[in-house]
A = this chain, B = another copy of it.
Amino acid sequence: MDDLLQRLRDRGWRLTAQRRVIAEVLDGEHIHFTADEVHARAVERLPEISRASVYNTLGELVALGEITEVTTDGRAKRYDPNAHHPHQHLVCSGCGTMRDVQITEDPIRALPEGERFGFTVSNAVVTYYGRCPDCAAAEAVAGGGTGSGQARRTA
């Protein structure tokens, strides 16, 4: 975290209060926040921080490879501070909860040459979808209902 701030300084960043607070939020709980969730937490420490600064800083951190942008479905992007340790995600289609997972195979190896069409393939994103235990339980209680509808939490 201090190392992060140092790396940023080394890259010529001005260390503003805003950037410091955003770094703190991302460091605190390493979990997948949306930009607005980051903003909400940043405001607690620095009430006048703007949405624009959060978007700017997150975008810059992504460009530097310090955090990762995760898009699941049509919802808001989430920002993943766990960027130096490559991993994939398991997402609950009921409530949106997201967990880091490690897989055993290198997915790039699963793409044969004949399926590359001359592309230079640089990375693969694997996302698993399913029901988390909570949503499964909620469904059981609801008595085999429609299977849809669920308050949308996310971590």
Contact = CB atoms under 8 A, between A and B. Distances in A.
Interface of A: 69, 71-74, 77, 90, 92-93, 99, 101-105, 107-112, 115-133, 136
B116 A110 contact: no
A102 B112 CA distance: 8
B99 A104 contact: no
A126 B123 CA distance: 10
A77 B73 CA distance: 9
Contact of A131 (B107, B109, B120): B120
A124 B122 CA distance: 19
B128 A111 contact: yes
A90 B117 contact: yes
